[in-house]
Structure 1
Amino acid sequence: MTEEKSLYERLGGYIPIAATADDLTDRLYVNETLNSNPAIKAFHDKHEKAGFKYILTNWVVQATGGPQVYQGRPMGDAHSHLGITEREFDIVMTECRTTFYKFNVPEKELEELMALLWSYKDEVIKGMSHAKDPAQRTAA
């Protein structure tokens, strides 16, 4: 019996993940509802998209079983100052799904990605970190 490939491998590796992170970042930076949160707007104004794309790509690669090491802060710490609401989290999730559809992510992998992202909801909204890095978390 062969072992199933990692989500990272099934997504095609680093380049397709980077392309998806690139598109998603562009969507998030121009989303009017997200930018109506002054803390999110200030973050977008202060931080170059290129740097955010790099961090996001590395996070997704590591979280999906790839070789890249995410060196950013834990999710709760990284988002605690933004005051993200449930509505804003839901908007980000909708943007994620839209991006995954745009890149024709197969349904099984799309649902695994969404479950992984949803597993961080409390940390992102409440600013509490339960795991030090994405490799310590498994999708439900």
Structure 2
Amino acid sequence: MTHHRTLIALAIATAIAMGGLLAPPAFAQGTAAMATAPAGLYQALGEKPGITRLMDDFVNRVVKDPRIGGHFKDVKPAALKESLTDQICQLSGGPCKYEGADMKSAHADMDINKGHFNALVEVLQSAMDAQGIPFAQQNRLLALLAPMHRDVITIR
């Protein structure tokens, strides 16, 4: 089961890095408009308290990850957690409003390649596992995040 799950996760990460799974959410392209979230995803993620715990865990992991932690050395973890919480909250259908930079601007100078992006997805999946988010809900969230790869990956 774990091996099968890992293969599925890697396939999703590869799909994300290679071309995405959905049309890009409007706010990922630079506006604050909301993409249509799958029904019940916000609730499945534990609403704002659950998303806050997830983003706390995720950011704590990502800044320590040897593959990608260096990309976050100049980032204030508390601000990143807050911004990501609002972004995931909005994207998943919650009442939050993401007011941060668009993904292209936010990542323009970070020199992110596909390997870095895949590592980020793996870290997010580990955080979701640790928070007890069911695999089907993880996939629903990843499918919403997938189109952002176009603006996050800066080294082709």
The answer to whether the superposition gives a TM-score over 0.5 is yes
Structure 2 spans left out of the alignment, 5+ residues? 1-37
Task: Quote the residue 1:73 is aligned against.
Answer: 101
Partner of 2:66: 32
Which one is further off, 100-109 or 23-32? 100-109
Pairwise mapping of residues 1-140 of structure 1 onto structure 2 (< 5 A)? 5-36=39-70, 40=71, 44-126=72-154
- Secondary structure at 1:47's aligned position in 2? coil
Q: How many equivalent pairs are there?
A: 118
Mapped to 2, the partners of 1:12 and 1:47 lie a distance apart of 26
Contact 2:110–2:154 under 8 Å retained in 1: no
Q: Alignment identity in percent?
A: 25
Identify the structure with bigger relative contact order (alpha carbons < 8 Å, sequence gap 6+). 2
- Structure 1 runs not aligned, ≥5 long: 128-140
Cα distance in structure 1, aligned partners of 2:119 and 2:41: 24
Moved over 2 A (4+): 44-47
TM-score if structure 2 supplies the norm length? 0.70
| Residue in 1 that maps onto 2:5 | none
SS of 1:65's equivalent? coil
2:59 counterpart letter in structure 1: T
* RMSD value, Cα: 1.7
